Amino acid sequence: MKIALASDHAGFALKEHLRGWIGKEHDVTDFGTRSDASCDFPDFAHPAAMAVAEHTCDRAVIVDGAGYPSGIVANKIHGVYAAVCHDTAAARLSREHSDTNVLCLGAMVIGQLLADEIVKVWLATAFAGGRYATRVEKVKALESQHLLPRWQRPRDVITLADLRAGLLDGEGLVVGPATRVTASVRDLVSRP
């Protein structure tokens, strides 16, 4: 697998430790930080999570002091499903039941030995599918409704006013399978 790694200063030592052995088994891209000098976690968590969203990496492991700050950043990105795990049971369940693609760890919460076990379990666990796939699809549907900007969401109805705004003001007119078009728009576009 292609694994993105990232950390802030608090997670730097643990990230470096993990990179040592993950790099022997997987193709690793390290998004930084490069030292334990004070830095801001979003500057490193965001690009690592984006690599997963853009499919340049299969999964990401992000380490900060507590784990949850990077999880918040990662979960803002469409197509990223991050879990903060501080034990192997959570790591296994996050993959098996929720198909997570980003693992966030808290270096000030867990030590190296536990982090090793968590990452090994998380990387080795497959998504169970079945009833869990239905639940994951519901999460993805919610994501489409709420994480995309309004101009990227499919319209429920397209009216003449929407068409005019789309042409004159540059507003997006995203059409989805459930989009209805008013009779006036249908008449306008069907004219020869």
pLDDT of residue 188: 83
Round to whole Å and give the CA distance between 149 and 179: 17
Round to whole Å and give the CA distance between 130 and 56: 27
Q: Which residue has the tokens 């501080």?
A: 86
pLDDT of residue 1: 96
| DSSP bridge partners of 104 | 62, 84
- Could you tell me which of 75, 67, 72, 83 has the C-alpha nearest to residue 8? 67
- How confident is the model over 47-101, as pLDDT tens digits? 999 999 999 999 999 999 999 999 999 999 989 999 999 999 999 999 999 999 9
* Alpha-carbon torsion (25, 92, 29, 137), positive or negative: positive
Q: CATH 3.40.1400.10: which residues of the chain?
A: 2-129
Round to whole Å and give the CA distance between 48 and 28: 11
pLDDT of residue 151: 59
Token representation of residue 187: 């008449």
pLDDT of residue 155: 78
pLDDT of residue 189: 80
pLDDT of residue 175: 80
CATH of domain 2-129: 3.40.1400.10
User: Three-class SS string for the chain?
Assistant: CEEEEEECCCCHHHHHHHHHHHHHHCEEEECCCCCCCCCCCHHHHHHHHHHHHCCCCCEEEEEECCCHHHHHHHCCCCCCCEEECCCHHHHHHHHHCCCCCEEEEECCCCCHHHHHHHHHHHHHCCCCCCHHHHHHHHHHHHHHHHCCCHHHCCEEEECHHHHHHHHHCCCCCCEEEEEEECHHHHHHHHCC
Ranges of the chain whose pLDDT falls below 70: 146-152, 171
